[in-house]
Structures are given as structure tokens and as C-alpha cells.
Amino acid sequence: MTTNRSGRAIALALTGVLALGALAACAPEVATRGNLVEDFRLESVRPGVSSQADVQAALGPPTVVPQFEEGTWYYIGQRTEKRAFFEPDIVERRVVRVTFDQVGTVAAVDELTLDEGQEVELVDRETPTRGRQMGFLEQMLGNLGRFNEAE
């Protein structure tokens, strides 16, 4: 009778371990990309006071410095969670724009929302590249007559 109880205890423990393993496999994979600026760092950047060096010391190097918007830096970051084989869900996204005046002092700090963004439709077409395109017979018969010469 005691061996029956110990067998049940072992089976129950094994079931518990398997259940915990299955739950651990379902844990989301969290990925942070870009520069997800924290609030306390952003508070240290003050318009009219902070310089470009101060901003870089507080927030790090900018993610994007636009070519046609002189004196503007963007800090872009997002955090995603992915469960098993599903598409990742965006948990947090933050875009901060820091604008400088001509002297290099912070003029404004703005946080852009998803409403201010624009949806971009991607094109699936491929641009053909010109070059040597071999047909089926050329591929099959291409090596005939090519032999290593004895040295």
C-alpha cells in the first residue's frame, strides 16, 4: 500500500513539473528596440537651458537626425512581446522629438503619438536585376567539357 502511494506522489510531482514546463514555454519573449527614453531622463532636458551635449549625456545619441530638418533629433524606441509563433504585439512605443535653436540650445521637446504618424503601405514588387540569366539547359550542360588540367 505504501508503494502505491509513493507511485502516485511521483506521478503527481512529475505532472506538476511538466505543467510548469509548459507554462514556462508560453512565457512571452520581450524585445526592446531603439532608444526607449525613460521619463526621469526626459525631465532633465529643459528647453532654453539644455545644450546638445546635455541632451546627449541625458538621453544618449539620437536614433535619427533628419537631413532636411536641421536642429532636430528623434529618439525612437519600442517594446514588443511575442508568444510562441504568433506575431509580436507592440506593448510600448515612444517617439521623442528634440528641437534646437541656432545656438544649439533646446527649443522644444515633444512626444509624438500614433495619431501623428502616417501608415506607410509597402510595395511587394521586385526590381529585376540585369545580368547573366542561365536557362535550364545551360545549367545542366554548362560543365560539359570543363576538366581540371593536370599540373
Q: Are 125 and 113 in contact (CB under 8 A)?
A: no
To the question of domain 26-117 being in CATH 3.30.1450, the answer is: yes
Q: pLDDT band at 21, cuts 50/70/90?
A: low
Rg (CA), the chain: 29
Is pTM, for the whole model, over 0.85? no
Q: Confidence class of residue 139 from pLDDT cuts 50, 70 and 90?
A: confident
Report which of 50, 78, 49, 51 is spatially closest to residue 63, judged by C-alpha positions.
78
| Phi, psi at 21, each rounded to 5° | -65, -40
The domain ranges of the chain are: 26-117
pLDDT at position 73, please?
Answer: 95
Contacts 24+ apart (CB under 8 A), 102-109: 102/71, 104/51, 104/52, 104/71, 105/48, 105/49, 105/50, 105/51, 106/45, 106/46, 106/47, 106/48, 106/49, 106/50, 106/51, 106/54, 106/55, 107/47, 107/48, 107/71, 108/47, 109/42, 109/45, 109/47
> pLDDT by residue (tens digit) across 72-119?
999 999 999 998 788 888 888 999 999 999 999 999 999 998 778 788
148 — pLDDT class (breaks 50, 70, 90): low
